[in-house]
Amino acid sequence: MITYLFSYIILMVIIMNLAISTLISMKFLMYSDSGSRYEQWIKPIIYVAMLYTAMSVSYHFIGVVAHEYLLALLIFYLVDKKQAIILVIITPFVRMLYMLFVDGHLTVINIVASLAVAVMVIIYMEVSDKLIANQTLSMIISEVLIVATNLFLAPYIPHVVIYSIFNQPTNWIIRASVAVITLLIVRKVYFQVTTLQNNNTELQKEVSFDKLTGFFNYKKFEQDVLTNTDENVDVGIAIIDLDYFKNVNDTYGHEVGNQVLKQFSIFLRENLAYKLSPTDLGIYRYGGEEFVWMFNPSMFTDVKHFLKNIQNDFLEIPLGDKGHHMSFSVGISFSRHHKYNLKLTFDAADVLLYRSKKNGRGHIVVENDY
């Protein structure tokens, strides 16, 4: 019995690690916005790989397959309920495949009993989730019922239990207790890891993004410009400056000025962001009322005409509480004219912006009349 308990503890430590890895992977994929058509297949593949590994480890350590629905249960309560139901449906087939691998054969009653357990697992999770408000308690009750069902049908499903439940009741107590402890530990570790990830994400946003406009900030701009080493990749840099913005701040205060900047940033995002491509670096708030747009020149036949149309639209928009109508000035340069050096390209765009403002504001000056 002591050897059996020790083996069981080692098994559950391994399953804990598998469960945590699976949950974090599922969570990451759930919020991934890669848009890959293969992404929908990645989750089941990860689950099947982890499940099959857990079954193999279980059979190796304690001579039986135990807690095969534990991963799906955790995913149901902590990540994605709909996805978990699909994974529960997959589980008996993976289990039957494993039994076929171990024994070399399957009977009809083995198949029926395995599918029956899966149906009961879905019922237990759905009913417990609806009737029990406390998530932890709902998880525990579901897992205890799953363990009981598995052991009750043990005579019809090979490699579920060493001893019959009727002459070895301690087997049920051991499994249920260890399962509950595993659930609680995995749940706590999972929440700690995801909280840390969320904090890191928020910290990254604070480091890289401007709070007022939502664009990349000056620090991120410096990093992108200084660390960019792409050769023979043409990048366009447009410096966009709100005309006479200082007068708004001086006359009506910074609160009104911030309103104007927010509206302007929303306008830029709606009109420029859709033109971004994988090679673009994006939109940055360089400082004050100055913004930098780094874009792919090949996406435009006439970038000056494109920005002029946007400027005409912007002139019609009332800004802030006072309903100001403002223009913006632009200087545009291209890295192909500066040996693909983004710092030199930016400096050239800055000179062109100065020329634009010197000409009376509201002008768009493009390098070499591109």
Cβ(179)–Cβ(144) below 8 Å: yes
Cβ(243)–Cβ(327) below 8 Å: yes
pLDDT band at 279 (very low <50, low <70, confident <90, very high): very low
**Contacts (Cβ under 8 Å, ≥6 apart) of 54:** 14, 15, 18, 67, 68, 70, 71
How far apart CA 194 and CA 192 sit, in angstroms, is 6
What SS3 class is residue 358?
helix
The rounded percent of the chain whose pLDDT value lies above 70 is 85
Per-residue pLDDT of 6-54, as tens digits, reads 777 787 888 888 888 888 887 776 665 444 555 667 878 888 888 888 8
Distances (CA, A) of 253 to 241, 265, 270, 327: 19, 19, 26, 19
Report phi then psi at 325, rounded to 5: -115, 120
Cβ(46)–Cβ(94) below 8 Å: no
Q: List, in sequence order, every beta strand (DSSP E) within the chain.
A: 236-242, 282-287, 290-295, 328-334, 364-366
How many residues belong to the chain? 370
The pTM score is 0.56
User: What's the pLDDT at 227?
Assistant: 66
Order of strands across the sheet that contains 282-287: 282-287, 290-295, 236-242, 328-334, 364-366
Strands 364-366 and 290-295: unpaired
Maximum mean pLDDT: which of 120-124, 190-194, 274-278, 307-311: 120-124
Mean pLDDT of all residues belonging to the chain: 82
User: What's the pLDDT at 91?
Assistant: 92
Which residues on adjacent β-strands are paired with residue 236?
295, 334
CB-CB neighbours of 13 under 10 Å: 12
The rounded percent of the chain whose pLDDT value lies above 90 is 18
DSSP secondary structure, 30-62, as one string? HT-----TTHHHHHHHHHHHHHHHHHHHHHHHH
Phi-psi region of 232 (alpha: psi -120 to 50; beta: other; left: phi over 0): left
Average pLDDT for 320-340:
86
Per-residue pLDDT of 140-196, as tens digits, reads 999 889 988 888 888 888 765 544 433 456 667 777 887 888 888 888 888 888 777
Please determine, for residue 99, whether its predicted confidence score (pLDDT) is greater than 70.
Answer: yes
Question: The dihedral of CA 151, 155, 159, 165: what is its sign?
Answer: positive
Distance, CA of 249 to chain centre: 39
DSSP secondary structure, 60-124, as one string? HHHSS---TTHHHHHHHHHT-HHHHHHHHHHHHHHHHHHHHHHHS---HHHHHHHHHHHHHHHHH
Per-residue pLDDT of 216-240, as tens digits, reads 888 888 888 766 656 678 889 999 9
How far apart CA 151 and CA 157 sit, in angstroms, is 9
